[in-house]
Every structure is written in structure tokens, then in C-alpha cells.
């Protein structure tokens, strides 16, 4: 069973503000699903998104250098 994260949990996992996660999800830039008034994200899909050059992945590479 895939691990499912809330927007708050995902923000903590990615090290970004909660509103950043919501903004990216609403834009369709972040793989997730809206469930009622909340968002849910599969951790594996997020990891694949980051590995494939997701918007946050580029920023993380710059910060590490």
C-alpha cells in the first residue's frame, strides 16, 4: 500500500512552507489529488517527481552546491 501524505506532511517532508505545497498542487505542478477540501499525495509519486526534475528538485540542487 502506498504511503499517502497530507499537504502538511508533504511540506515538512520537502522542507517548504505549507502554502508552497498548496500552490504547486493547485497549479498542477505537483502530483496530488484533491479530496474534499484537502490534498493527498503519494510519497512514491513525489519522489519520482523530484527525481525527474520537479520544480523543487532544481532549487534543492542549487542550495546544496
Domains of the chain: 4-64 (1.10.1660)
* 36's grid cell: 474534499
Name the strand (E) or helix (H) holding 38: strand 38-42
pLDDT band at 53 (very low <50, low <70, confident <90, very high): confident
- Greater confidence (7 vs 51) lies with 7
* 37's grid cell: 477540501
**Mean pLDDT calculated for residue range 44-48:** 92
Chain segment 4-36, per-residue pLDDT in tens? 999 999 999 999 999 999 999 998 889 999 999
- Greater confidence (57 vs 17) lies with 17
**pLDDT at 60 > cutoff 80:** no
Amino acid at each position: 500500500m502506498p504511503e499517502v501524505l497530507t499537504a502538511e506532511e508533504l511540506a515538512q517532508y520537502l522542507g517548504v512552507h505549507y502554502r508552497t505545497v498548496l500552490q504547486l498542487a493547485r497549479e498542477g505542478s505537483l502530483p496530488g489529488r484533491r479530496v474534499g477540501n484537502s490534498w493527498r499525495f503519494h510519497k512514491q509519486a513525489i519522489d519520482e517527481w523530484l527525481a525527474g526534475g520537479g520544480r523543487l528538485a532544481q532549487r534543492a540542487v542549487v542550495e546544496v552546491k
